[in-house]
A and B are shown apart, each in its own frame.
Chain A
Amino acid sequence: MTHIDEQAAEAARYLEYQAIDTGYRAVRWHEKTLYEQSRPGSTNAILPPVEPGIVALVGDVAAALPAAARRARPPEMPELSEPEILRHYIRCSQMTYGYDSGNSMGLGTCTMKYSPRINEQLAASPKVKALHPLQPEETIQGILEIMYGMRNWLCELGGMDEVTFQPRGGGHGAFTDACMIRAYHHARGDDHRDEIITCAVSHPCNPATASAAGFKVISLYPDEITGELGIDALKAAISDRTAGIMMTAPYDTGVFDSQIAEYARLVHEAGGVVSLDQANFNGVMTRMRAGDLGADMVHFNLHKTFSTPHGSYGPGAGAVAVKKAFRDFLPVPVVEFDGTKYRLNSDLPHTIGKVGTFMGMVPNVVKAYAWVLSMGADGLREASEWAVINNNYLIKKLLEVRGVEISWPNRRKLQEARFSLAKLHDETGVSTTDFNYRLADFGVQTYFESHVPRIVDEPVTPEPTESISKEDVDQFVAAFHHISAEAYSNAEIVKTAPHRSIVHREIHDYENLTQVPFTWRVWKRTHPDG
């Protein structure tokens, strides 16, 4: 058999293995935009009318506005009837890869897991939806009880003492941490402390929020061999200007830094604050508590570990938990319980005030609460274990694929890992992006490559979580075998992928930003013929 025949035979074997569906075709409606379907004059009577008695008393108040304050021309929005609008959005939803649609384990660092529908229904109750955040406390005791309950659980899981749900996501949570660190040092007269240390294998929101809060950022890179930051490197970063450190455990690479408690100790010794980004909490939940490793504050992503749905990219919810010493700096209000009644307390002496509006993404707290109830401590432990088992099983199987390597191979990984297709790229010219486009052809969700900085070449970062079955992992691996075989025998198929998806790959051919239409009004101007 020639080399090519071997490749083809291998590919054929994996075609049968786990029934890779090469007959997959993405749903494709050639769906025009609402604008292109617009029928001028279509109106839908949705709003309640204005009663004649009202009109009689006040007249057309809007028309009485001075011209400069009044809208001069009607907006050029589309006009369609209700069923046409619904059809359009139903079709759009069919051309969207939701978690429930298939296999989303490729989206590493996202912690994609099943969002239980009972939680959606509970949070859609009028007892949640129809609440106003400024209602008197006595009328929202139910919501406050849930928020307080979730607060207790997060304190327990994180080894912390108080919680705020005001941040709307992980990045917002990191920003809250950075603001509290700033306020903490300001209160002590230490405004010269203007440096925050972070690491290159954490989410970009860590350095971004630190700098948004006015800090200089010192980034540490993981050691080539150990995948850890290293004491020496940290010491080179620490100075009398250190305000704090933003760390994460484990890293996005799946490596748990064995010296992390020592880093916390060194930063404390230097007078800094320790903040832990727990976006990757799913891998260590019930097995490790941030408070025990020395964290002063942590943030959780409720739309990651705690199962609230990702919503096409939000709304998520962040939760920031702090040790007692930092309670006074939390954004307000915090929820308190006096034994009989729940209260909102806005009188924290050094509060940073608000970082967002009202109390945060309350419905998602309800969903997270219901999820924790559904899991129990035993279930949380089980979930974390399965996130780790699924990931390690994935690692074992994926490394059998030709051309696939893993970063920091000598370190065990917890709930996710960063692979590399550098070898495959060198040998075939197929890049990780090509590979990913081809993956879409098999009905499997595309994977996350890597955050910046891309210290791993041609990266692939999947994360199975506990919601994935063994069969799902096998399917993912089988797809990789298939595409790898293609790369080595017929690279063109991969380099020009996708072939069976909704559209083909995009091209970035513009000289500057203003040439990309981000609204229909700009598209219309630049494409008058459609």
Chain B
Amino acid sequence: MSELSGGAEASRRSGAAPARPGGGAPTPARRRIGLIVNPLAGIGGRVGLKGSDGAETVARAFALGAVPMAGARAAETLRALAGAAAGTANGTAADARRGHSAAIELATYPGEMGADVAREAGFDPVVLGSIEAGATTGADTRRAAEALHAWGAELLVFAGGDGTARDVFAAVGGSVPVVGIPAGVKIHSGVFAVNPRRAAELVAEFLAGRAGLEDREVMDIDEELFRAGTVAARLFGYMRMPYARALVQGAKAGNPGGPSTLRDVAFGVLDEIDRDPGAYWILGPGTTVKAVADELGIEKTLLGVDLLHRGRLVAADVNESQLLAFLARKPESVRARLVVTVIGGQGYLFGRGNQQLSPAVIRAIGKAGLVVAATLDKLHALGGPLLVDTGDAECDAYLSGHIKVITGEADRVIWRVTA
């Protein structure tokens, strides 16, 4: 057939207030949301703020034409959130007072770190802590996150970039789900929504209890490499983020969405492992690969690369030289296979967060030895090809083209890979 229009989407997207079973209009308990704005995100802060006087660096950055974006982005999200409650495309302050303030209790940090935009959007926020206006740092973000967590935030919404995400993570780890509002810089972490409006939709889905939660990567510039002159993203950990169940492919019986979808992908990878039981299986970082390890009953290094043989962990958290040494030592007849997944929000297969898998390692294993696994939802969210940036143009070219990606137990897709 066919042909069925997605009526379901309508009520979800229009944000019409759901009918409550049993009729009547009970007063729902207010939900606690924390808001952090990093006012200096996106103005090349990291480069400039290192070391020296904050105010001078900020002034220099502005003089160089930098534009603070996080506040405006956060405002966009809050307006859309207020609008969602009022059933309009964009809420006014009045809408927020009428509808959303009734549903949400918002807490934030002072002034440019959140209180300003919150009030503009019509919220009457609880304001915690104190800052030095115009001279905020990562430490302020960390303090804000701790304070909001202690206050009881069910969800932390923050506007900024990778550095902001890393600061939030450093403060609260994976204890509170988050929604990141991208502040206009190139972002590698997976904890950011695609745009401010989408961030509002995710918050609304979360509040309505319709969202699942899944682990997303927190990544930031590797400082050691940076000091040595290379810009490379490093994987720091994972935080949980809501995702809209309705848009996820492959919801399964009794357990729709995220965790079981990862499990599906894991089963698909296990199928490949079963077909090549004598091989050495190198497992890269990422929650998708971790799901494979979980099914095998193996404790995998969350952020690193592990080595498996015949279902047993042979080496954990190996670096490049250990990998190469191992690959050189193994018998010719035994194959080496590598399981990788997409790391971060940009869609990198290699070069972000898994630099141990260097060009030399990749060449030793060969393209035919790769097993790429990812949920279809993740692939679609990329809105484009998978990316590679191994640092070696020839290796990048070798990897480019099309590759088979395992997206479920019986499901694969062919996806484009480019440098």
**In the complex, A38 has a CB within 8 A of chain B:** no
Known: A236-B401, A453-B376. A506 touches B7 (CB 8 A): yes
Which residues from chain B contact A234 at a C-beta distance below 8 Å?
414
Q: Among residues 420 to 451 in chain A, which have CB atoms less than 8 Å away from a CB atom of chain B?
A: 428-434, 436-437, 446-449, 451
* Cβ A448 vs Cβ B10 within 8 A: no
Residue of A203, A449, A495 touching B14 (CB-CB under 8 A): A495
**In the complex, A232 has a CB within 8 A of chain B:** yes
* Cβ A447 vs Cβ B5 within 8 A: yes
Of the listed stretches A55-63, A83-91, A217-225, A343-351, name the one at the interface; the rest are far from the partner chain: A217-225
* Cβ A491 vs Cβ B89 within 8 A: yes
Of the listed stretches B171-179, B344-352, B403-411, name the one at the interface; the rest are far from the partner chain: B403-411
* Cβ A221 vs Cβ B414 within 8 A: yes
Shortest C-beta distance, B78 to chain A (Å), equals 16
**In the complex, B1 has a CB within 8 A of chain A:** yes
* Cβ B5 vs Cβ A507 within 8 A: no
Which residues from chain A contact B3 at a C-beta distance below 8 Å?
107-110, 448
**In the complex, B136 has a CB within 8 A of chain A:** no
* Cβ B18 vs Cβ A507 within 8 A: yes
Known: A218-B404, A433-B10, A437-B10. A233 touches B414 (CB 8 A): yes
Which residues from chain A contact B249 at a C-beta distance below 8 Å?
452-453
* Cβ A313 vs Cβ B414 within 8 A: no
Residue of B4, B9, B18, B89 touching A509 (CB-CB under 8 A): B18
Known: A221-B415, A448-B5. A215 touches B402 (CB 8 A): no
**In the complex, B363 has a CB within 8 A of chain A:** no
Which residues from chain B contact A171 at a C-beta distance below 8 Å?
1
Known: A219-B411, A506-B11. A446 touches B18 (CB 8 A): no
Cα–Cα, bound, A221→B412 (Å)? 11
Cα–Cα, bound, A431→B14 (Å)? 8
Contact pattern, A 265-305, Cβ under 8 Å of B = 1, otherwise 0: 00000000000000000000000000000000000000000
Shortest C-beta distance, A214 to chain B (Å), equals 9
Contact pattern, B 1-25, Cβ under 8 Å of A = 1, otherwise 0: 1111111111111101011110000
Cα–Cα, bound, A455→B88 (Å)? 26
**In the complex, B413 has a CB within 8 A of chain A:** yes
**In the complex, B209 has a CB within 8 A of chain A:** yes
* Cβ B414 vs Cβ A236 within 8 A: yes
**In the complex, B380 has a CB within 8 A of chain A:** yes
B246 closest partner in A (C-beta): A508
Q: Among residues 387 to 419 in chain B, which have CB atoms less than 8 Å away from a CB atom of chain A?
A: 401-404, 410-416
**In the complex, B237 has a CB within 8 A of chain A:** no
Q: Among residues 68 to 84 in chain B, which have CB atoms less than 8 Å away from a CB atom of chain A?
A: none
* Cβ B376 vs Cβ A495 within 8 A: no
Which residues from chain B contact A511 at a C-beta distance below 8 Å?
209
**In the complex, B87 has a CB within 8 A of chain A:** yes
Which residues from chain B contact A436 at a C-beta distance below 8 Å?
5, 10
Contact pattern, B 268-294, Cβ under 8 Å of A = 1, otherwise 0: 000100000000000000000000000
Shortest C-beta distance, A192 to chain B (Å), equals 10
**In the complex, A400 has a CB within 8 A of chain B:** no
Which residues from chain B contact A434 at a C-beta distance below 8 Å?
10, 13-14
Which residues from chain B contact A221 at a C-beta distance below 8 Å?
413-415
A425 closest partner in B (C-beta): B13
Shortest C-beta distance, B94 to chain A (Å), equals 15
Which residues from chain A contact B319 at a C-beta distance below 8 Å?
none
Shortest C-beta distance, A232 to chain B (Å), equals 5
* Cβ A220 vs Cβ B413 within 8 A: yes
Q: How many residues of A contact B (CB 8 A)?
A: 55
Contact pattern, A 355-399, Cβ under 8 Å of B = 1, otherwise 0: 000000000000000000000000000000000000000000000
Shortest C-beta distance, B280 to chain A (Å), equals 22
Residue of B2, B8, B271 touching A110 (CB-CB under 8 A): B2
**In the complex, A492 has a CB within 8 A of chain B:** yes
Which residues from chain A contact B271 at a C-beta distance below 8 Å?
216
Which residues from chain B contact A216 at a C-beta distance below 8 Å?
271, 410-412
* Cβ B402 vs Cβ A232 within 8 A: yes
A460 closest partner in B (C-beta): B5
* Cβ B411 vs Cβ A431 within 8 A: no
Which residues from chain B contact A452 at a C-beta distance below 8 Å?
249
* Cβ A495 vs Cβ B89 within 8 A: yes
A108 closest partner in B (C-beta): B3
Residue of B11, B89, B376, B411 touching A429 (CB-CB under 8 A): B89
B411 closest partner in A (C-beta): A217
Cα–Cα, bound, A447→B5 (Å)? 7
Cα–Cα, bound, A211→B411 (Å)? 9
Shortest C-beta distance, B249 to chain A (Å), equals 7
Cα–Cα, bound, A203→B7 (Å)? 19
Which residues from chain A contact B412 at a C-beta distance below 8 Å?
195, 216-219, 237
A439 closest partner in B (C-beta): B5
* Cβ A507 vs Cβ B16 within 8 A: yes
* Cβ B14 vs Cβ A492 within 8 A: no
**In the complex, A170 has a CB within 8 A of chain B:** yes
Which residues from chain A contact B380 at a C-beta distance below 8 Å?
453, 455
B83 closest partner in A (C-beta): A429
Contact pattern, A 181-223, Cβ under 8 Å of B = 1, otherwise 0: 0000000000000010000100100010001000111111100
Cα–Cα, bound, A74→B395 (Å)? 74
**In the complex, A25 has a CB within 8 A of chain B:** no
Which residues from chain A contact B402 at a C-beta distance below 8 Å?
230, 232-233, 235-237
Cα–Cα, bound, A437→B16 (Å)? 14
* Cβ A433 vs Cβ B7 within 8 A: yes
A231 closest partner in B (C-beta): B402
* Cβ B1 vs Cβ A170 within 8 A: yes
A487 closest partner in B (C-beta): B89
Contact pattern, A 235-260, Cβ under 8 Å of B = 1, otherwise 0: 11100000000000000000000000
Cα–Cα, bound, A155→B413 (Å)? 33
Cα–Cα, bound, A431→B247 (Å)? 15
Cα–Cα, bound, A230→B12 (Å)? 36
**In the complex, A505 has a CB within 8 A of chain B:** yes
Shortest C-beta distance, B140 to chain A (Å), equals 34
B380 closest partner in A (C-beta): A453
Which residues from chain A contact B12 at a C-beta distance below 8 Å?
508
Contact pattern, A 403-420, Cβ under 8 Å of B = 1, otherwise 0: 000000000000000000
A506 closest partner in B (C-beta): B7
Contact pattern, A 469-507, Cβ under 8 Å of B = 1, otherwise 0: 000000000000000000000011001100000000111
Shortest C-beta distance, B229 to chain A (Å), equals 35
Known: A221-B414, A233-B402, A233-B414. A448 touches B4 (CB 8 A): yes
B271 closest partner in A (C-beta): A216
Which residues from chain A contact B20 at a C-beta distance below 8 Å?
509
**In the complex, B90 has a CB within 8 A of chain A:** yes
Shortest C-beta distance, B211 to chain A (Å), equals 13
Cα–Cα, bound, A471→B415 (Å)? 43
Shortest C-beta distance, B118 to chain A (Å), equals 22
Cα–Cα, bound, A456→B113 (Å)? 37
Cα–Cα, bound, A203→B10 (Å)? 23
* Cβ B89 vs Cβ A428 within 8 A: yes
Q: Among residues 124 to 180 in chain B, which have CB atoms less than 8 Å away from a CB atom of chain A?
A: none
Shortest C-beta distance, A452 to chain B (Å), equals 7
Shortest C-beta distance, A528 to chain B (Å), equals 12
Which residues from chain B contact A428 at a C-beta distance below 8 Å?
89
* Cβ A218 vs Cβ B89 within 8 A: no
Cα–Cα, bound, A396→B6 (Å)? 25
Shortest C-beta distance, A457 to chain B (Å), equals 10
Shortest C-beta distance, B306 to chain A (Å), equals 26
Cα–Cα, bound, A446→B416 (Å)? 35
4 nearest A-B pairs in the assembled complex, by CB-CB distance: A429-B89, A433-B10, A509-B18, A236-B402
**Hey, which bits of chain B sit against chain A, CB under 8 A?**
1-14, 16, 18-21, 87-90, 209, 249, 271, 376, 380, 401-404, 410-416
8 sample A-B contacts, Cβ–Cβ < 8 Å, listed by A number: A169-B1, A216-B411, A234-B414, A433-B13, A434-B13, A448-B3, A492-B88, A508-B11
Given contacts A220-B414, A449-B5, 17 further A-B contacts (CB under 8 A): A211-B410, A216-B411, A430-B89, A431-B10, A431-B14, A433-B6, A433-B10, A434-B10, A448-B2, A453-B249, A453-B380, A492-B88, A506-B7, A506-B8, A507-B16, A509-B21, A511-B209
